[in-house]
Structure 1
Amino acid sequence: MTSSPSPADTSDIAQAPLLSVNALSERLVTQLVDEAASLRIAISRTEAGTVIADAGVDAPGSLDAGVLIARICMGGLGRVSTRMSAENTPLWPVMIDVQTSWPVLACLGSQYAGWSLSATKEQTGGKKFFSLGSGPARALAGKEDLFTELGYRDRHDHGALVLEVDRLPPQVIVDKVVNDCGLAPERLTLIVTPTHSVAGTVQVVARVVEVALHKTHVLGVDLAEVVEGSGCAPLPPPAPDGIAAMGRTNDAILYGGRVHLTVQHDAVARRLAAELPSSNARDYGRPFADIFTAFNYDFYQIDPALFAPAEVWISSLESGATYHGGKVDAALLQAQWGAP
């Protein structure tokens, strides 16, 4: 009797150094700039030539812009699209679908909003500025410990960074990103997507697989286990209030997000199916905006287990089995957003 072979190391961590997330997303950035008028975004340049793409501050932005920005965020290694949900599964009329064959590199090496960028009012000459940077330029700067864990740094002569904030970045932030990324100013593109904008709503909800990867990392699972990732989440209507908008985008994933991951080993698949869903969290069951307000607008007081998709399927290459955990809460979403 012969034993089954162990699954090969098909993880993107092992193969990541072969790819540049900035090179792969460069054509998408070019498309964003070239098609700015039809995408309803505004393009400006600093005196040194850095491109600023306004996708929701003064320009209205659009759903199509949000989809393209989400693809840029994933370093050109993910597919993002929208669809109308089927009549017999009326979770919400419009859904966002995400798929990547490079889940660790696309989601954590690029899409994750992990670069903290801030400036004092003295530095800006006005009011203080804060934003988390996401997208491929993070891998050029390598300011986060995460890149040491991933064993990945990018090298490319162009870069793009997405800022989820309601104002355009001051020059001091532009200069910092340029210097930390080692780029010529004219070869950096900064894309601004407020959460309350259409494009901002899209690009945040398109993080449904990334949220699953981040929770996997928080659980201490070896990221080399994860070899494929797909997911979907409902696309809520934008809210004019920043806290409400953040609540809606988080609820879309925490209570409506569905993710399928393929991992190397059976034991990992079993564990993730049991521990990954958001329902494991102490704070689960209330709208995110209510939770955030109750903790005095401090993310760090919220149980980190909450930041996860609502429902998961985890498939094992070792056994061929698929394990399921969690469930969506359509009633909570519909009560917050209005019936579909």
Structure 2
Amino acid sequence: MSGVLNERACRLAEYLLAKAGELKVIPHTLENGATIVDCGIETPAGIQAGLLLARICMSDLGDVQLVPGTLEGQTLPYLQVQTDHAVESCLLSQYAGWKIDVDDFFAMGSGSMRAAAEKEDLYRILAFGETPAKTVGILEANTLPSVNVVEMISKATGVESKNITLLVAPTSSIAGNIQVISRSVETAMHKLFECEFDVHRIQAGYGIAPLAPVAKDHLSGIGRTNDAILYGSSVTLWVTGDDKSLQEIGPSIPSSSAACFGKPFLEVFKEANHDFYEIDPSFFSPAVIIFQNLDTGNVFQFGQTNTTLLKNSFGF
């Protein structure tokens, strides 16, 4: 296939680069021609950079906004995400399914570059792939990638290094914090996919999650951002088809279906030796999932939030 997701993501990344000074991001050009954009390591970046990161992650097939909210009386911004292309924006682009591990550099990779690499089974199952001339990826990391990292991505995607753009932000930054917490709908979509639900039944998605305070370090940020999704997010999906399948699969979708539910994410992460891929995958889900069946008009809700845990995690 041609690079539809990559084309959209690259256009938005080019806009980010054109506004680099205003957005407080710092572009670097490596010796192989790749563009690395610091979005929160040696620069404060900011809210607008974070919102753009989230949209680039979704290949510009979703809308991400900050909206007002409260957490047990404490005023707090919430991140609102909506998309009419949940499969493409969330599963095929936004999901952080590519483990980037080269030399001493590690990051969770997301964005449209995944569709070019097709390293994950979901691309085979969903019969999707791209062969773009240019690609862009988002890396959740607290250091910038080297030439060797880019060369690995180039080999995997078939894209020349000079045509690769990588946007990097740690969770302990404003932009990185926003980018991670904008994944409420994505976590629901991936959980449904893993439960072998026909994700093409999903016509639209909406999610909202509390924006955690920016943590003092990357590890603490991992804890807070994941807690925001696992214990504070609510996702609504508009679906077609029968009610019975929704009622049957519903209880297994929220984070409360995991045995480790009730523990702060940082505790679970430490028990897994700081390896995301060793954590029970059923845990990566929104706190609440709501199905609105377009064919029957019926609504089904599953899961629960945990505001006490959130307040402790956020330091309130």
TM superposition score normalised by structure 1: 0.87
Number of paired residues? 315
Counterpart of 1:332 in structure 2 is 309
Gaps of 5+ in 2: none
CA positional deviation for 1:90: 4.3
Report whether the alignment pairs 1:294 with 2:271. yes
The equivalent residue for 1:206 is 182
1:233 equivalent to 2:209? Answer yes
Of 45, 59, 65 in structure 2, the residue corresponding to residue 81 of structure 1 is 65
Aligned to 1:43: 27
8 Å CA contact 1:270, 1:314 repeated in 2:
no
**Is 1:57 matched up with 2:34?**
no
Matches within 5 A, 1:1-340: 20-85=4-69, 90=73, 93-120=76-103, 128-265=104-241, 266-339=243-316
In structure 1, stretches of 5+ residues that fail to align are 1-16, 121-127
The residue matched to 1:285 in structure 2 has which SS?
Answer: coil
Paired letter, 1:151: A
Identity fraction in percent: 37
Distance in 2 (alpha carbons) for counterparts of 1:289 and 1:75: 29
> Over alpha carbons, which structure has the higher Rg?
1
Distance 2:152 2:281 in 1: 30
Corresponding letter in the other structure for 1:184: E
Q: Which piece of structure 1 moves more, 90-99 or 277-286?
A: 90-99
Aligned counterparts of 1:161 and 1:47: Cα–Cα separation in 2: 18
After superposition, the C-alpha distances for 1:278-332 in whole angstroms (9 at most, x for unaligned) are 1111111121112222343344553322211011110112311110111211121
C-alpha deviation, 1:92, in angstroms:
5.2
- Offset at residue 247 of structure 1 (A): 0.6
In structure 2, relative to structure 1, the CA distance for the partners of 1:268 and 1:112 (3 Å cut) is: same
Pairwise CA RMSD of aligned residues?
Answer: 1.9
- The CA distance in 2 between the partners of 1:88 and 1:47, in whole Å, is 47
**1:101–1:227 Cα contact (<8 Å) kept:** yes
Q: Counterpart amino acid of 1:79?
A: D
After superposing on structure 2, the runs of 4+ consecutive aligned residues of structure 1 that deviate more than 4 Å are: 87-92
Alignment check: 8 A CA contact 1:216 1:276 kept: yes
1:232-284: CA deviations, max 9, x gaps? 10111111222211010000000001100112222232234322111111111
Residues 94-141 of structure 1: per-residue CA shift (max 9 Å, x gap)? 000001111011111001111122223xxxxxxx11222100111112
What amino acid is the match of 2:270? T
